[in-house]
Amino acid sequence: MNMKKLTLLIATAILMSACVKTKEPTRFSILGDSYSAFDGYVDPDTNDPYIHYPQIGVTGIEQMWWRQVADSLNWVLDHNNSFSGSLVCNYADFDGGSYYAPNSFIRRMNNLGNPDVIFILGATNDVWNGAPFGDYVYSDWTEEQLCSFRPALAYMLDFLKRQHPHAKLYYLLETNPCPGAIDAETRLNLIESVHRVTYHYNVDCVDLYDIHKEWWHPDVEGQKGIADQVLEYLSMSVL
């Protein structure tokens, strides 16, 4: 092989290698409550000195639902903005300056980094604390309306869609969040509310069933149940 051909081959190889881009891993963020909070794995790290996990058998980060999803798909966590006890809405404002009042989902939703995917897992504390459902409101929200679940949920999804136009949103809906503690009407209202508002904003809603718990929180089996159902849904959808 003469020098001219060798030089041409080397130049071609360099050009081809420059054109081949390594695909960056999918980055995901979480907006959540205690179901997703593990000590040392929340952003910002000032989120609630009472972090729910590790306990009730969930002792390692690899047992958390979102870590199982990440490990299965080779995804990378961007932000886990989860705060134990937090509501989606600002209903806690009525509770005389409740500790949770400044930490609702809609007051933390602007700190999720720059993810490709956003998981939202919440509403358990809204129904647990008796927050009103309110009306379906999709614009011009008032402070009073944001103390109810439906307007706050719409406000949150509207913001996230605009703030992260290229991210894929998934709302993870536990269909029976407080078994024995809320009545059937409240449960059905929750399901209908989330389905209706997510549909309005074209956000995927992943219904979660039969989440095993101890002390009102997913245990090892429950965390795996969430992960398995999320992975099953993702396997049937296009990111």
Give the pLDDT confidence score for residue 98 in this predicted structure.
Answer: 56
Residue with structure tokens 């904003």? 201
Given CA atoms 203, 209, 190, 100 in this order, what sign does their dihedral have? Answer: negative
- The helix or strand, by DSSP H or E, that contains position 197, with its residue range, turns out to be helix 184-200
Here the CATH number for the domain that contains residue 72 is 3.40.50.1110
Distances (CA, A) of 93 to 6, 69, 90, 96, 101: 73, 34, 6, 7, 5
13 lies in a domain?
Answer: no
Write down the number of H helices and E strands in the chain. Answer: 7, 7
pLDDT band at 6 (very low <50, low <70, confident <90, very high): very low
19 lies in a domain?
Answer: no
| pLDDT at 148 exceeding the cut of 60 | yes
pLDDT tens-digit map of 215-228: 889 999 999 999 99
217 lies in a domain?
Answer: yes
Average pLDDT rounded to a whole number, residues 27-47 = 89
pLDDT winner (highest mean) among 34-43, 64-73, 230-239: 64-73
189 lies in a domain?
Answer: yes
Query: 154, 140, 156: which is closest to 107 by C-alpha?
Result: 156
Query: 95, 78, 77: which is closest to 86 by C-alpha?
Result: 95
80, with CB counted inside 10 A (0-12, 13-18, 19+), is buried
Give the pLDDT confidence score for residue 201 in this predicted structure.
Answer: 99
Token code pair at residue 32: 């959540």
pLDDT band at 99 (very low <50, low <70, confident <90, very high): low
What total of structural domains would you count in the chain? 1
pLDDT tens-digit map of 194-207: 999 999 999 999 99
For residue 210, give its domain range: 24-236
Query: 194, 189, 152, 142: which is closest to 173 by C-alpha?
Result: 194
Q: Cβ atoms within 10 A of the Cβ of 140, count? A: 6
Percent of the chain that is helix, strand, coil (3-state, to 5): 40, 15, 40
Residue with structure tokens 């179901």? 35
120 lies in a domain?
Answer: yes
138 lies in a domain?
Answer: yes
112 lies in a domain?
Answer: yes
pLDDT band at 20 (very low <50, low <70, confident <90, very high): very low
1 lies in a domain?
Answer: no
User: What pTM did the predictor assign?
Assistant: 0.87
- CA–CA separation, 116 and 77 (whole Å): 10
Residue with structure tokens 């024995």? 180
